[in-house]
Amino acid sequence: MKLSRKRRRLWVVVLAGLGLGTATALALTAFQDNLVFFLAPSDIAAKHPAPDRAFRLGGLVVAGSLQRDQTPDGKPEARFRVTDGPATIPVRYVGVLPDLFREGQGVVALGKLGTDGQFRASEVLARHDETYMPPEVAEALKRTGHWDPAKGAPPPAASWNTLEPAAASATPARPGT
């Protein structure tokens, strides 16, 4: 069968696209481990990075673990623990924490893991999650006991992303209404 020129050009483009797509997919799969911006605590537990190697640690700040202090020369110092569930790593950081930093929030810290198992951070970035809500809605969720921001992610979006702020509190756990 003789293909028309248009048809032939279309096939060339389709085949080139398939080849390129496959190559990209393979490359991304191969590099997936090297393209990480940060290591989770359980990655670190499995890999044991060398003590002199700087890397980024990422995870959630454990509720109730934050202790603010001052170094002898008057700089702010923070100690907290970072977890991803299976593993937890204590972190020490001297410097000013970003505004978004709080317990239950994601963080990415750059630093080195000491031989004592403590991570000495030279830079701490706060990670934002994908939720956006007005203060009243967050208040309603906290008041009704549906969400404790220090303990982790908010409840499923469908339960609070509607117009009615009352929707967040309409479900049980609120006696008298």
Binding interface with other proteins (CB under 8 A): 6, 9-10, 13, 16-17, 20-21, 24, 28, 32, 35-40, 58, 97-100, 102, 108, 123-139, 149, 156-158, 160-163
With respect to other proteins, which residue has the nearer C-beta, 79 or 102? 102
Specify the DSSP class assigned to residue 47: H
d(CA 120, CA 109): 9
Q: How far is the CB of 87 from other proteins (least distance, A)?
A: 15
Query: 9 or 75, CB closer to other proteins?
Result: 9
Shortest reach from residue 116's CB to other proteins, in Å: 25
Structure-block tokens of residue 47: 């890999």
Short-list 52, 55, 21, CA closest to 114: 52
CB of 136 to other proteins, least distance (A): 7
Q: Which of 91, 87, 85, 86 is nearest to 107 (CA)?
A: 91
